[in-house]
Amino acid sequence: MIAANCRVGIVGAGTSGVYLASLLQQQGFQVALFEKAPYPRTEGCGILLVQAGMAALQQGNPQICQAIIQAGAPVSRFEFRNLRGDLINAEPVSYAADELPGMLVHRKAILHALLDALSPECLHGNADLQSVTQTDSSVIAHFKDGRQWEGDLLVGADGILSQVRPAVVSDVQLCYLGDLVWRGIVEDQTFCPAGNFIVYVRGRGIYANFFDIGGGLTHWGFFVEQQQQEDEDSILRPQDPSIPAAELAKLPEDARAIIEATPPAQIVSRYSYDIDPLPRLQQGRIVLIGDAAHAKSPTRARGMTSGFEDALALSRHLTAGADVSTALAAFEAERLPIVHEYQRTSREMSRKIGRRHKQAA
Ligand SMILES: Cc1cc2nc3c(=O)[nH]c(=O)nc-3n(C[C@H](O)[C@H](O)[C@H](O)COP(=O)(O)OP(=O)(O)OC[C@H]3O[C@@H](n4cnc5c(N)ncnc54)[C@H](O)[C@@H]3O)c2cc1C
């Protein structure tokens, strides 16, 4: 059993890092959670948290799971429409009495539920990781402001542009998925009635979804197939964040009106990328979880879920393992086949629905 005085550093206070930090604190580990922003980002858009993600939260901390159920809307129906607005197919969703629902929920509510389960003294804001070094007996994180942290294990939960990842696998490239996406949240509870998830299937170079996230709010995502400018390679945000009016005009009027009613401050835009499956998740005293390990196309909505599953599995192996190295090997043996499968099927589905992936150079 790994000693309770084991010092674990986690880089990145997104959903994967905050959940892992809270689980390890519960088990008595000495946890330091480093975030480059002054405080974990609590804004964001709507999220479809599938049942596997809810189960990963329920197993680690039922209170987090309950808080998310209270805050959001259980998925009640998937509806597929064409660009004229005609219904192509509808799939009602129902749950047995003892079954956890898939949830449609504001990312803010998820973050708040996770942060409520965390003892805040472990959180270090304005800590922008620059590099990592390790020896047989310890690992050292070096931050841009000159600070250092030394401990027994370092976890990279620092997202798709991970600074920890090169210490585990070098030269990982982002693969552009061919879409620029705008997402927003607007006050409306009529367009997507309780728990509805509406998809406008891909056609004429666009794709869109709209879903209820509870609290009288609707989330939307509007995807436009678009080449990147030469100098935009591997950047997340486009130089021009405005939604092209000609593309928006391809949506039926009622759907377009929802997007047009959204205050500009509530709209974010970004290019979509994934990464190739990594050959390993750990090296020595360093391990990767969440998007840092397996960023994928949002097509199957497994991104946040797989980060929660990683956190739960890593916490379980560290708690039960004889030492850090045995625990990391067991974590990798369990998770690598699962996350590779998520990455493979997300990419496959993404190509099938017509995304034009560009392979990394
Ligand atoms: C358009 C789109 C829609 C999506 N929809 C869904 C969905 O419906 N359902 C779903 O499950 N998933 C969805 N996802 C995926 C999901 O958002 C991600 O998989 C998930 O948020 C990843 O969480 P993370 O904690 O691993 O990484 P992140 O959320 O990226 O967190 C990483 C953290 O690390 C910090 N950080 C980065 N670099 C450093 C550094 N050098 N030093 C210190 N800190 C650092 C960052 O500031 C950040 O706080 C979607 C993604 C996209 C792009």
Q: What is the pLDDT of residue 3?
A: 66
**Could you tell me if the CB of 304 is within 6 A of ligand 1?**
yes
15 phi, psi to nearest 5 deg: -65, -40
Model pTM above 0.85: yes
- Predicted confidence band of residue 1 (pLDDT cuts 50, 70, 90): low
For residue range 78-128, what is the model confidence (pLDDT) as tens digits? 999 999 999 999 999 999 999 999 999 999 999 999 999 999 999 999 999
Between 352 and 61, the higher pLDDT residue: 61
For residue range 336-358, what is the model confidence (pLDDT) as tens digits? 999 999 999 999 988 887 777 66
Task: Look at residues 328, 260, 339 and name the one whose alpha carbon lies nearest to residue 292.
Answer: 339
For residue range 185-207, what is the model confidence (pLDDT) as tens digits? 999 989 999 999 999 999 999 99
Question: Which residue has its alpha carbon closest to ligand 1 atom 11?
Answer: 304
Question: Which residue has its alpha carbon closest to ligand 1 atom 21?
Answer: 304
Distance from Cα 7 to the centre of ligand 1, integer Å? 24
Q: What is the pLDDT of residue 361?
A: 47
Question: Which residue has its alpha carbon closest to ligand 1 atom 50?
Answer: 298
Q: What is the pLDDT of residue 296?
A: 96
Q: What is the pLDDT of residue 43?
A: 84
Q: What is the pLDDT of residue 117?
A: 98
CA 79, CA 200: separation in Å to the nearest integer? 9
The Cα-based distances of 124 to 13, 73, 129 in angstroms read 9, 32, 11
**Could you tell me if the CB of 290 is within 6 A of ligand 1?**
yes
**Could you tell me if the CB of 7 is within 6 A of ligand 1?**
no
- Atom from ligand 1 closest to the CA of residue 128: 42
CA 247, CA 267: separation in Å to the nearest integer? 16
104 phi, psi to nearest 5 deg: -105, 120
Question: Which residue has its alpha carbon closest to ligand 1 atom 51?
Answer: 298
**Could you tell me if the CB of 186 is within 6 A of ligand 1?**
no
pLDDT, averaged across the chain: 94
- Predicted confidence band of residue 277 (pLDDT cuts 50, 70, 90): very high
For residue range 175-187, what is the model confidence (pLDDT) as tens digits? 999 999 999 999 9
Q: What is the pLDDT of residue 164?
A: 98
- Atom from ligand 1 closest to the CA of residue 223: 1
**Could you tell me if the CB of 209 is within 6 A of ligand 1?**
no
Q: Quick check: 6 pLDDT over 90?
A: yes
As a whole number, mean pLDDT of residues 326-331 equals 98
Distance from Cα 160 to the centre of ligand 1, integer Å? 7
The percentage of residues in the chain with a pLDDT greater than 90, rounded to a whole number, is 86
Of 3-12, 216-225, 253-262, the least confident: 3-12
**Could you tell me if the CB of 222 is within 6 A of ligand 1?**
no
- Per residue, the 3-state secondary structure of the chain, as one string, reads CCCCCCEEEEECCCHHHHHHHHHHHHCCCEEEEECCCCCCCCCCCEEEECHHHHHHHHHHCHHHHHHHHHHCEECCEEEEECCCCCEEEEEECCCCCCCCCCEEEEHHHHHHHHHHCCCHHHEECCCCEEEEEECCCCEEEEECCCCEEEECEEEECCCCCCCCHHHCCCCCCEEEEEEEEEEEEEECCCCCCCCEEEEEEEECCEEEEEEECCCCEEEEEEEEECCCCHHHCCCCCCCCCCCCHHHHCCCCHHHHHHHHCCCHHHEEEEEEEEECCCCCCEECCEEECCHHHHCCCHHHCCHHHHHHHHHHHHHHHHHHCCCHHHHHHHHHHHHHHHHHHHHHHHHHHHHHCCCCCECCC
Terminal Cα-to-Cα distance of the chain (whole angstroms)? 44
Q: Quick check: 279 pLDDT over 90?
A: yes
For residue range 141-162, what is the model confidence (pLDDT) as tens digits? 999 999 999 999 999 999 999 9
- 309 Cβ contact list (under 8 Å, min separation 6): 52, 53, 56, 335, 338
Distance from Cα 322 to the centre of ligand 1, integer Å? 31
